[in-house]
Structure 1
């Protein structure tokens, strides 16, 4: 009996998700099918990204993976903003940041560390990533403190949100210029161009053109399925008695981050820990410094604008995630136990969010 290939399974779940949405199947069934479809597409996306990374280098490959992986998060965020679900959007942003820093990075360090005793990457890059993560915390913490201490009038909330969002976007774009152009070699991964440290490396299955094409196709498919997934969230939340905070921070974030999950773990197991860290940490930075600010600007295109003021719980969750991720990665060396520590913190936050 002939086995069904991965592309065929992907297309089957995409088709089922479309049929379920337009035929108005049971919302729970729609949610499960759409979530599985996104995960399959994420695996396909990860494979295409690894192929592109072979041609473009590990750092650019990691950046592309984070960018295309966050495409689902951005699309879901825009759709939620359009529907006015600002609390779920902020929870989703929170979940994406802590999910990448704790779950994705934790699983990558654990999987890579079980195969290789110690894995190393550029220590300077680790330090700069840590500084950028602290910038993200400052951008969330300072406005919230001013608002909660009544030092800021409500009518100034949107203005401050736009200014802070604009500063973060500029800082992120300048970081890309710094890391990808002016200081590219300075921040190169320690395993770059060292064949002896990449024993499992192999030629990609696709050409450069095919890899880029598949990245685009997968992203478009994710856009459609993400929209169908968003339409199921309200009834699912109500049916199972879940809070928007938990659904946004864990359910939506885990599904949206599936691309990073597959690719980062796969690269870590090939001793490409630099690329894995670039995906996990780089994706968190992209969410905090680019995606979240963009959503604030996009919200002004609709009837009600979204502000940048997160809850104390959300800021605390992001803060502890940044603290432990920075402390673990700042020396440019990782092992499996450090991955376990990150997963432990993720578990603590997950239970806490569920019980809120």
Structure 2
């Protein structure tokens, strides 16, 4: 019900932007809130079509459109040339889904219960994919570091950046290929193995399934409105960060990432509370993998097509530490195929610790964003 109430922020945000010419902070805040129910509507429409399409096509639709809201937000920020914020949003989505989303699901689902169990084999497959994510995102950063050392590239930042871009495009191609093969593996060749836990899922009442035209209309309408709200959000980003005394980097890695995935947090927590923790694990960790193996590579390719090239070299080493920490923590919690509410607390605690670090970090800005960025109000200097 409260998701429906949040839909009121759509006309509010549009009026503030187009009629009242309100300050950027108000436009940013209302656009952020408006995207949350729109992302949930997009998820519902996708699931309704997937319910009619069968397991294989339905699974493909879910994984394809699962992060569409987040992708749209990132594209509009990319159009503004702020690649640092886009990469921060990618990092934030990875750690947010893996730590905050899964942590909330385990905490809410297991509270008042001794423990909940889920399919260890499925969790093991997801954890293997998580470690591929870690390797794929570490390699461009380590390559960039090593290429700063040779004498023949000394003073030639442009040459190093070109190599970073070529490597990032290559890594993006490999990740998309692996993602496609993973879909074949889970939805076609080994679907019987992964469907063993499907009895956990909700079996939709035929009477509750929407007509195809309604589901398609909801998806198209939600996508268009998310695009409009994302454009407004992107335009107000810099001014909002200055007014709040927060870096655009922090807004990307915490605020935008949470907004883009909020509907999945709600869905995971709902299923976990219903005793379907395995489904919640699939939603949270599966969304994490989708961001790294599909959304991030697609954004790299799109960035070149629109003339705003983005590589996969993260501006802050803390981002890499966060991704490694998320993979290790999730693997540790899910390896035994069961969870208690306190393990949910541990996941959320790791996320909060990382969020605190990101609040104080001063990232290296890139491209046009570097020229327009003014440092945040908070300072790292202590006066004794």
Cα distance in 1 between the residues matched to 2:87 and 2:353: 20
Residue of structure 1 in register with 2:117 after alignment: 120
Map 1:191-206 to 2 at 5 A. Answer: 192-193=198-199, 205-206=208-209
What secondary structure does 1:300 align onto?
Answer: helix
Checking the alignment, whether the CA contact within 8 Å between 2:51 and 2:209 is kept in structure 1 is: no
Question: 1:231: how far off?
Answer: 1.4
Task: Kindly name which structure, 1 or 2, has the bigger radius of gyration based on alpha carbons.
Answer: 2
With the length of structure 1 as denominator, give the TM-score of the two structures.
Answer: 0.88
Question: 1:20: how far off?
Answer: 2.0
What secondary structure does 2:111 align onto?
Answer: helix
What secondary structure does 1:281 align onto?
Answer: helix
Map 1:206-285 to 2 at 5 A. Answer: 206-207=209-210, 209=212, 210-211=214-215, 213-285=217-289
What secondary structure does 1:231 align onto?
Answer: helix
Residue of structure 2 in register with 1:77 after alignment: 74
| Counterpart among 163, 172, 185 of residue 192 in structure 2 | 185
Question: 1:56: how far off?
Answer: 6.7
Map 1:6-155 to 2 at 5 A. Answer: 7=4, 9=5, 11-23=7-19, 24-48=21-45, 67-114=64-111, 116-150=113-147, 154=160, 155=162
Question: 1:5: how far off?
Answer: 9.0
Cα distance in 1 between the residues matched to 2:55 and 2:32: 29
Change (3 A) 1:266 1:215: farther
Cα distance in 2 between the residues matched to 1:60 and 1:268: 25
Checking the alignment, whether the CA contact within 8 Å between 2:6 and 2:33 is kept in structure 1 is: no
Q: How many residues align?
A: 348
Checking the alignment, whether the CA contact within 8 Å between 1:62 and 1:275 is kept in structure 2 is: no
Cα distance in 1 between the residues matched to 2:57 and 2:258: 24
Cα deviation digits, residues 46-97 of structure 1 (max 9, x gap) = 5556656766789987875564341111111111111110111111100010
Cα distance in 1 between the residues matched to 2:36 and 2:194: 31
Change (3 A) 1:292 1:113: same
Cα deviation digits, residues 237-295 of structure 1 (max 9, x gap) = 11112112211110111111111111111111112222211211111111111111111
RMSD in angstroms over aligned alpha carbons?
Answer: 2.7
Cα distance in 1 between the residues matched to 2:238 and 2:230: 14
With the length of structure 2 as denominator, give the TM-score of the two structures.
Answer: 0.82
Say which is worse superposed, 261-270 or 11-20, in terms of deviation. Answer: 11-20
Change (3 A) 1:16 1:189: farther
| Counterpart among 292, 310, 317 of residue 312 in structure 1 | 317
Residue of structure 1 in register with 2:339 after alignment: 334
Cα distance in 1 between the residues matched to 2:270 and 2:342: 18
Residue of structure 1 in register with 2:163 after alignment: 156
Cα deviation digits, residues 136-174 of structure 1 (max 9, x gap) = 111111221122122686131211111011000100111
Cα distance in 2 between the residues matched to 1:120 and 1:211: 33
Cα distance in 2 between the residues matched to 1:213 and 1:184: 30
Question: 1:304: how far off?
Answer: 3.6
Is the aligned partner of 1:355 residue 2:363?
no
Say which is worse superposed, 143-152 or 300-309, in terms of deviation. Answer: 143-152
Cα distance in 2 between the residues matched to 1:276 and 1:183: 21
Cα deviation digits, residues 77-121 of structure 1 (max 9, x gap) = 111111110111111100010000011111011111115433222
Name structure 1 gaps, 5 residues minimum. Answer: none
Cα distance in 2 between the residues matched to 1:213 and 1:131: 37
Checking the alignment, whether the CA contact within 8 Å between 1:101 and 1:321 is kept in structure 2 is: yes
Residue of structure 1 in register with 2:179 after alignment: 172
Cα deviation digits, residues 306-353 of structure 1 (max 9, x gap) = 111113111011110111011111222222111111001011011111
